[in-house]
Amino acid sequence: MKRIILVRHCNAEGQHKDSPLTYEGINEARMLAAFLKRQDYPIQRILSSPFFRAVETIKPFADAADIPIELDRRLQERILSEEPVDDWLEVLEESFADFDLRLPGGESSNDARIRIRCLLDELEAEEQLENVVLVTHGNLLAILLKEFQTDIGFSHWKGFTNPDVFLVQRGAGSYMVERIWNA
């Protein structure tokens, strides 16, 4: 695999798995489709979080490029806790410092890293696969990017936009990360 295009979903009406895109988010998805179409490399596969906002984000591009959207639960957002968390931003920041931190009913950053690493390993094993799009959510995106660039952390997550796009390219035996979306 030469290139992984990582996409964070467009603006949505909420955080529930069935939350649709806002009117602005629908327009962003159209702009994203045009942006991806202008790239110099052919996309071979699209894998998306099964959450509705992620699928809606990539659907205009997938339809135009005639590429099926493959749903993969390993791309769904990390659940910080199943119980309400008043200071969730502080807890999220702490979870970037302590990858083993797990709240009741939640998933640690390491748990999320292991599931996303499994997907990456599967994709890397596909010798014919050169260019793939992965559509996900902000927290998981940061964890995913950390697999390629170790200094990615909470401050990077805070700077992500909806949508956001990162290009991960293999070159000379290692991967390079580049933010290619210009909000």
Structural domains of the chain, ranges and CATH numbers in brackets: 3-80+108-179 (3.40.50.1240)
- When pLDDT is averaged across residues 119-124 and rounded to a whole number, the result is 94
Lowest mean pLDDT among 7-11, 113-117, 151-155: 151-155
Average pLDDT, the chain: 93
- When pLDDT is averaged across residues 43-50 and rounded to a whole number, the result is 97
- pLDDT exceeding 70 applies to what percent of the chain? 99
Residue 60: C-alpha distances to residues 29, 36, 64 (Å): 7, 10, 6
Q: Specify the pLDDT at position 34.
A: 97
Residue partners of 131: CB distance under 8 A and separation at least 6 = 1, 2, 3, 5, 41, 42, 43, 44
d(CA 55, CA 35): 17
Q: Specify the pLDDT at position 172.
A: 77
- When pLDDT is averaged across residues 97-125 and rounded to a whole number, the result is 94
pTM confidence score: 0.94
Instruction: Decide if pLDDT at 127 tops 90.
Output: no
